[in-house]
Each structure stands twice: as structure tokens, then as C-alpha cells.
Amino acid sequence: MGFRFGDYGLKLVYRHEDGGRKFSKMISKNPAKTYEFLGFDYEKYLEGFDDVEDIFAYVVSSKYFNPKIFEYEQLNHQNRTRNKKRKNYELFLQYVKDNPKHMTIPFKSVDCEIDDIYVFGDKEEFVDKAEKFFNTEIRSEINRWKERVEQEKKASGIFNGNVVMEHFPLKGKELGAAMKNFNDYFNSFIPTATPEEMKLYRSRWILDNNMETIFRVFKEVNNLN
């Protein structure tokens, strides 16, 4: 569904289309609302469980339960190796196999990847459901984040290490140090800014200036002739 759930609450983890960047947002810290959203009976949870099979029955009771995502073939190497050592995981797989009539796959037949674990469904649909269910702003924040990502990618295409090497005799550690000096130059203007804010500011500056100005500043901060 594109969410993570733990003692911290329910959090959305939304991957960019390029697969390299993630948008995270806390959606709810209300257990009762979260359990309801995930398709569970919260009152039943509060009653507790008598044994591990009782827990299994509760897990598969969600209308969103999908047995396919627990199969070893759907896990990455790390999770597959780890889970094969877990007795209760093996017991759960057997429980699912022995109780097929309780297993449903309500998701659409579109597979998406989250941290190399495959799920089946349309995560965009669940983003909209969460926004409405929890009465919180999500979609507009994702869109603004996407705009920032595209801005940073565009700026990176204009000025990057390869471009620098084409114009200056720098490579390896010297190149890395020079790029760091360039980035630190912008950090000095807004020392209290977060890393994300700094990336946005730097990329905006690159897009707003021509290459002559960019190279001039790069040379100045690195004392290059």
C-alpha cells in the first residue's frame, strides 16, 4: 500500500518514478484510526491473542491482506535469508497454505517495488484514500516534492562533476573536495537551512545563472586560475 506502520505510527513512504528518491510523511499516530484504515478490528487487537495461530488469523483478517507478498520468491536476498531462520515465519506460510479459503488478493494486478519487496496494487489509490480518511494533506505535498526533485535533477544535469572535469584539471579526491567547497559556499548563506533546503537553494541558483557565472563562482571558492 506504500505505508510503514510501527510504534511511531503510520507513515507514507512514496518513491519517485526514477526509484532513487523517497518522500516520507507521518500520516497518523492514532492507533484506532490506523488499524481501521489498514482493515483491522482494533477492539479485537485490544483483547489480545492466546497463541501464535490467533495472531495469524488476525493478520489475514484484513481486507487488504495479500498472501503473495510473503512468499520467499517475492523477497530480496536479505529478507529471504533472515526469514528462513524464523520459526514463526515458516509457521505463518504453512498457515496461509492450509487456509486458502480465507486468502484474498483485492489489489489490482499492477506490481510495484518497495525496498525490493514486491506488493501488488495501485499505491496512488491508497494515497488518495489516506488523504480522505485521515483528513490530511498528502497529494499536494507529493506534487511539490516532485517539482523540487525535477528542479534538482535539471540543475544536476547542467552542473556536475563530469562538467567540471571537462573545464578544469580536477579528478578523484581533488574533484570531490572542489565540489564540496562549492556546496559549502551556498551553505554559508543559510547556515540554519536543512540539507533538503540547501539542495533546493543551490539548484535554483544554478538554474537562474548562466555557465559563465557558475564557473566564475566555482573558481573563486576553490582558488582556481
- Sorted by where each begins, the domain ranges of the chain are 3-136, 141-221
* The predicted structure's pLDDT at residue 105: 52
DSSP helix/strand/coil, 101: helix
- Residue 108: pLDDT band with limits 50, 70, 90: very low
Give yes or no for residue 109 having a pLDDT over 50.
no
Give the H/E segment covering residue 3: strand 3-6
Quote the percentage of the chain above a pLDDT of 70.
90
Average pLDDT over residues 179-192: 88
* The predicted structure's pLDDT at residue 44: 95
Give yes or no for residue 10 having a pLDDT over 50.
yes
> How many other CB atoms are there within 10 angstroms of residue 99's CB atom?
14
DSSP helix/strand/coil, 71: coil
Average pLDDT over residues 25-50: 96
Give yes or no for residue 208 having a pLDDT over 50.
yes
> How many other CB atoms are there within 10 angstroms of residue 157's CB atom?
10
Let me know the angle formed at the C-alpha of 46 by 44 and 52, rounded to the nearest 5 degrees.
70
Q: Grid coordinates in use for 220?
A: 573563486
Amino acid, res. 200: L
Give yes or no for residue 174 having a pLDDT over 90.
yes
Burial of 134 (0-12, 13-18, 19+ CB in 10 A): middle
* The predicted structure's pLDDT at residue 110: 40
Question: Which pLDDT tens digit goes with each residue over 43-53?
Answer: 999 999 999 99
DSSP helix/strand/coil, 12: strand
Taking each helix axis from N to C end, the angle separating 139-158 and 195-208, rounded to the nearest 10 degrees, works out to: 50
DSSP-H helix ranges across the chain: 31-37, 42-47, 52-59, 77-83, 87-98, 123-133, 139-158, 161-167, 172-187, 195-208, 211-221
- Residue 101: pLDDT band with limits 50, 70, 90: low
Burial of 92 (0-12, 13-18, 19+ CB in 10 A): buried
Quote the percentage of the chain above a pLDDT of 90.
71
- Least confident stretch, 97-111, 134-148, 172-186: 97-111
Q: What is the reported pTM?
A: 0.74
* The predicted structure's pLDDT at residue 188: 84
* The predicted structure's pLDDT at residue 46: 96
Q: Grid coordinates in use for 36?
A: 481501521
